[in-house]
């Protein structure tokens, strides 16, 4: 009795294994890109086909019944007119579904059921749709009543994650305000705003956007500068890439009206470029060619500073944009440049300069006068004494005869000598 029970159990197990083999269900994950074609794979062992059925959420998409009887989805289905089969390859075991012009609404679970003379095969396809990040832009805004940097990401799905940082790092707590908007197309627009930190004019603000589906991180960075110059005096417009950016190209544009003018583009990799025509007229091109200079060697090390030669107040005052571009990164420096006429330099600047010169000259004059007075006084105190011979000649002259005669030594001695005689 027990052996009969074991035999029946073994037969049942073999039947279950055979059934599961014939009705094996596979699960595949596919990521479709918005506006592009997407293939949902489904394969089976080649065998005479009885029926092929694609469904989504219990809704029939396509049904193929020999001989080549294809039933399309209903006109109300969002995929109507956008799905098809590779009918020429079905006989070889390829029942993949093609979705044209993918959209976010196409995400979900799809099922492919194939029934052949050898059995039934099922494949479940989990579809997610992505509109990857293509670019991140940054700009300065004052619409909120204060100065802030705005980071924008457009036409993405799903909504990306945005973080902020600065270079050099700061101890301030960065508190951006981020808003996202879902467009009718199913894609997202995202704006993240960060108030600028006062007292740190040369700070680089960095915005980093990443997709929940993975992929490369996109960064945009921004720095604002105010630059002052004078007519006829060469001026350096500074522009430096952040340390993390390995740029491919550098470009400069200028605007003193609504329409920006392209000045130059430089290829960092090839080391070539310069003032290029772009949208400029021949006259404007010649004008910039004689007024700007770029050191291509320094650009390769992140220094894209532009030399503005012999600037003119009217023509060269305005907004300059310097942009370093890489595959997934962009750095922008906005320079508000003011060129003043040579005769309009501020009086305090000239007064301050000549005051220093006058002070130095005055101190040197006082030092010279003091030295002359000192030498004069020292010369009076150290005047040499008269020559001894001249002093002797000025003294009263004694009688030399008396001094030389031995008899004139004294009156008494003379009398004694006379008496003796």
pLDDT of residue 219: 96
Phi, psi of 7 (to 5 degrees): -65, -45
- pLDDT at position 408: 39
Closest CA to 158 of 182, 127, 134: 182
Query: Are the CB atoms for 42 and 24 separated by under 8 Å?
Result: no
Can you tell me the distance from the alpha carbon of 14 to that of 7, in angstroms, rounded to the nearest whole number? 11
Which of 223, 325, 339 has the alpha carbon at shortest distance from 269?
325
Question: What ranges in 97-167 are assigned the alpha helix state H?
Answer: none
- Strands (DSSP E) found in 142-248: 148-156, 161-167, 177-182, 188-195, 204-210, 218-230, 235-237
When the candidates are 3.20.20.140, 2.60.40.10, 2.30.30.100, 1.10.760.10, the CATH number that belongs to 224-347 is: 2.60.40.10
Say whether domain 22-130 belongs to CATH 2.60.40.10. yes
Delimit the domains of the chain by residue range: 22-130, 131-216, 224-347
Please name the residue ranges forming H helices in 23-115. Answer: 87-90
pTM above 0.75, yes or no: no
- What separation in angstroms does the CA of 179 have from each of 192, 369, 383? 6, 75, 95
pLDDT at 12: 41
138 in Cβ contact with 220 (< 8 Å): yes
- Nearest Cα residue to 52 out of 86, 20, 75: 86
Q: What is the pLDDT of residue 5?
A: 40
| Same fold yes or no, 22-130 and 131-216 | yes
At residue 234, the pLDDT reads 93
Task: Please state which of the four CATH numbers 2.60.40.10, 2.170.190.11, 2.160.10.10, 2.40.50.140 is assigned to the domain occupying 131-216.
Answer: 2.60.40.10
Distance CA 107, CA 100 (A): 13
Average pLDDT by stretches of 10, the chain with 421 residues: 39 38 75 96 92 90 86 89 90 94 94 93 95 92 83 95 93 91 94 88 92 93 93 94 90 85 86 62 72 89 92 91 94 94 52 67 84 77 49 43 39 37 30
The predicted structure's pLDDT at residue 141: 84
């Amino acid at each position: 009795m027990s052996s009969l029970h074991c035999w029946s159990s073994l037969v049942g197990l073999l039947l279950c294994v055979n059934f599961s083999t014939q009705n094996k269900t596979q699960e595949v994950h596919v990521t479709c890109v918005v506006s592009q074609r997407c293939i949902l794979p489904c394969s089976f062992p080649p065998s005479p086909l009885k029926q092929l059925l694609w469904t989504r959420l219990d809704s029939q998409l396509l049904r193929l019944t020999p001989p080549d009887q294809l039933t399309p989805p209903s006109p109300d289905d969002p995929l109507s007119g956008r799905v098809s089969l590779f009918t020429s390859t079905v006989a070889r075991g390829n029942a993949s579904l093609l979705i044209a012009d993918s959209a976010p609404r196409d995400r979900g679970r799809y099922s492919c059921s194939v029934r052949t003379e050898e059995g039934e095969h099922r494949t479940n396809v989990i579809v997610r749709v992505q509109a990857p990040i293509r670019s991140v832009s940054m700009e300065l805004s004052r619409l909120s009543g204060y100065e802030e940097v705005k980071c924008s990401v457009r036409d993405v799905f799903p909504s990306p994650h945005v973080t902020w940082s600065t270079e050099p790092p700061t101890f301030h707590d960065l508190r951006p305000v981020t808003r996202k908007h879902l467009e009718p197309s199913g894609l997202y627009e995202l704006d993240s705003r960060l108030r600028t930190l006062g007292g740190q004019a040369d700070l680089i603000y960095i915005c980093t956007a990443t997709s929940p589906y993975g992929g490369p991180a996109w960064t945009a960075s921004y720095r604002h500068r105010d630059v002052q110059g004078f007519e006829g005096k060469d001026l350096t417009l500074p522009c430096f890439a952040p340390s993390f950016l390995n740029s491919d190209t550098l470009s400069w544009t200028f605007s003193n009206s609504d329409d920006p003018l392209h000045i130059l583009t430089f290829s960092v990799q090839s080391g070539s470029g310069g003032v290029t025509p772009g949208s400029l007229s021949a006259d404007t091109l010649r004008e910039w060619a004689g007024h700007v200079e770029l050191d291509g060697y320094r650009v390769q090390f992140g220094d894209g500073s532009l030399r503005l030669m012999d600037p003119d107040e009217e023509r060269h005052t305005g907004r300059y944009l310097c942009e370093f571009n890489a595959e997934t990164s962009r750095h922008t420096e906005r320079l508000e440049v003011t060129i003043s006429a040579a005769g309009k330099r501020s009086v305090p600047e000239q007064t301050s300069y000549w005051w220093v010169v006058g002070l130095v000259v005055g101190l040197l004059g006082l030092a010279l006068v003091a030295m002359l007075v000192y030498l004069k006084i020292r010369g009076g105190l150290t005047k040499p004494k008269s020559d001894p011979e001249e002093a002797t000649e000025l003294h009263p002259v004694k009688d030399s005869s008396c001094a030389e005669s031995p008899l004139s030594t004294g009156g008494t001695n003379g009398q004694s000598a006379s008496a003796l005689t």
